[in-house]
Amino acid sequence: MDIRALDIDDLDLVCRHREDMFRDAGRSDDVLVPMTEHFRAWVRPRLLDGSYFGYAMLEDGVPVAGIGLMLIDWPPHPAHPTQDKRGYVLNVFVEPAHRKRGLARELMRLAEAEFARRGVGYLILHATAKGRPLYQGQGWAGTTEMAKAAPR
């Protein structure tokens, strides 16, 4: 299994991983098609300037898994009183035929090492129901975040 950093040539791959991840979680095309169109335009400049980064895993040159990473501007907080950044993990995806082999766990280890290298001490993600046990097993815990979709 080869591992390499994401770059702009992975634009399609990153978009596909995000869409397939949410499709796996039960989302339907009526929301995923417009999401991917807008996500592609959003992530393209960020892949180019490196503010969206991460890794792809390849078997025989074919990508089989990926992970996205970002630094999010955040007000200094008791969990990171002297820092104004949080590390964010997103778009963790492993192709169905390659699951249960520890690839996501390995991608998460790479992610934590990269954030450590960048000096970021507080990391967040949003878990699907499927992903939650993996993260819990690696020391992640639920937060007090709440959300509300405003009436349109």
**Residue 61 binding its own copies, by CB under 8 A:** no
Of 22, 53, 55, 93, the residue at the interface with its own copies (CB under 8 A) is 22
The C-alpha atoms of residue 20 and residue 133 are separated, in whole angstroms, by 19
Contact 64, 20 (CB under 8 A): no
Q: Which of residues 91-120 bind its own copies (CB under 8 A)?
A: 112, 115-116, 120
Name residue, tokens 């520890």: 102
How many other β-carbons are positioned within 10 Å of the β-carbon of residue 111?
22
Closer by beta carbon to its own copies, 93 or else 135 = 135
Q: Which residues bind its own copies (CB under 8 A)?
A: 18, 22, 27, 31-32, 34-35, 38-39, 42-43, 72, 75-84, 87, 90, 112, 115-116, 120-129, 132, 135-136, 138-152
